[in-house]
Chains A and B, each alone.
Chain A
Amino acid sequence: KAGVTQTPRYLIKTRGQQVTLSCSPISGHRSVSWYQQTPGQGLQFLFEYFSETQRNKGNFPGRFSGRQFSNSRSEMNVSTLELGDSALYLCASSPMGSNNGNQYFGPGTRLLVL
């Protein structure tokens, strides 16, 4: 089985721009979770989608949003980028949800905001 794929792998944006990141889960997995990883804060949960519905949400501002499509692929969007949004964005898929099974992570998208 192919693993979790994320595109793009690297991205450079400037403050005020917006960005869309994509995640393709493992075939058959219905849950996709998104995380932000920074050296200072570690891995922080953004949100989880299951069967196209947001199941859980972390403590991030409304500039961070996501969606999931009928084929389980997911996108996250960050609007009005700030310098502090520079981070590694990871997505993870699981068959029945992050709390009910193992999570499999993608390699991440490294976002640099200038």
Chain B
Amino acid sequence: TQLLEQSPQFLSIQEGENLTVYCNSSSVFSSLQWYRQEPGEGPVLLVTVVTGGEVKKLKRLTFQFGDARKDSSLHITAAQPGDTGLYLCAGNMNRDDKIIFGKGTRLHILP
């Protein structure tokens, strides 16, 4: 059973379009993180959300943590080829628990 489900698995869109990817669970998480991983490299942390309903912005990226702390979304405005990569969400249910990762959304932005 995958505790963190990410959708879609794959997404290919044209440069300039907007997109949203999702990270869902039936469990409550104390915090969630979003990472981006490029080929041949390790994941790079983009943001951490800890409060239900929290919204964080990072340039063209907007992250939201669900009110019930069971889900999160990542919205990209005016996607650029540099946004291409594997987007991973991760979190821990309790403070002392290990971090759990979703399987990721592989995003490809076409120039």
* Partner-B contacts on A (CB < 8 A): 4, 33, 35, 41-45, 48, 56-58, 90, 92, 98-100, 102-108
Q: A42-B104, A43-B88 are in contact. Are A103 and B99 (CB under 8 A)?
A: yes
8 A-B pairs within 8 Å (CB atoms) are namely A43-B101, A56-B97, A90-B43, A99-B95, A99-B96, A99-B99, A102-B45, A108-B42
CB-based contact A105/B98 at 8 Å: no
Bound state CA distance, A50 and B64, in angstroms? 31
Main secondary structure of the interface of B (DSSP, over half): loop
Q: A99-B95, A99-B97 are in contact. Are A42 and B42 (CB under 8 A)?
A: no
Min CB distance, A48 to chain B, in Å? 7
Main secondary structure of the interface of A (DSSP, over half): strand
CB-based contact B98/A48 at 8 Å: yes
CB-based contact B43/A98 at 8 Å: no
Residue of B nearest to A105 (CB): B42
Query: How many inter-chain residue pairs (CB < 8 Å) link A and B?
Result: 54
The verdict on B100 contacting chain A, using a C-beta distance below 8 Å, is yes
Q: For the complex of A and B, list the 4 residue pairs with the smallest distance between their C-beta atoms, beginning with the closest.
A: A105-B42, A42-B103, A43-B101, A45-B98
Q: A103-B45, A105-B42, A106-B42 are in contact. Are A42 and B99 (CB under 8 A)?
A: no
Chain B residues near A104 (CB-CB < 8 A): 45
Chain A residues near B98 (CB-CB < 8 A): 45, 48, 56-58, 98
Residue of B nearest to A3 (CB): B42
